[in-house]
Amino acid sequence: MAQDVKDYTFPQELLSFIDEWKVKPGSLIMILHKTQEIFGYISRPAAEQLAVLTGISLARIYGVVTFYHYFKTTKPGKHKIAVCMGTACYLKGAQDLLDESRKLLGLEPNGVTEDGQFSIDAVRCVGCCGLAPLLVVGTDTYGKLTKDMIPGIIDKYRNV
C-alpha cells in the first residue's frame, strides 16, 4: 500500500544529502544512489518525495530509475544474490548458476521469496574474472562454482 507523500519521511542523513546535491547539475543520479543505499530500492513514495524535495519531475525521476538496471523499484530480499554474467563468468557457466539459484528458491526474474529472505539479480560484471563463474550474497563472494554448489551456499543464509 503506497503512503501519501506527506506521510513519507526520509532520514536526516538523506535530507542533508539532497539539500547539498539538488543544486548541482546532474545531481539526480547521485541522489538516487543515496536513496537506494538507504532504503535498498526506490519506492513510489520515495520517488514522489524526491520530486517534491528536488523540483525534478516524477516522470524524469522514473525515466532515470527505469533506464538504469542498477536501480530497483521493488524491495529486495534480505539476502541479495547477484550472479555475475560478465563474459568470463558467462562462458564458464554463470547461466547454470542463475537458473539453479532461481529454481531452488522458486523465483522468477526480479522476484523475492515469499518470506522476503532472498532475491536474485543477474549483474554485468563483478570484477573477479579469475574466480569465474561466481555469485555474491550480500558482501560474500563465492567463486569457481558449479551449479551443484548452489544449494550449500543458499543454505548458509536460510534463517539468518
How sure is the predictor about 6, in pLDDT bands with cuts at 50, 70 and 90? very low
Give the chain's mean pLDDT: 92
63 close to 111: Cβ distance less than 8 angstroms: no
47-74 pLDDT tens trace: 999 999 999 999 999 999 999 888 999 9
Percentage of the chain surpassing pLDDT 70? 95
110-124 pLDDT tens trace: 889 999 999 999 998
3-state secondary structure (DSSP) of residue 95: helix
- pLDDT for position 9: 85
End-to-end Cα separation, the chain, in angstroms: 27
pTM for the model stands at 0.76
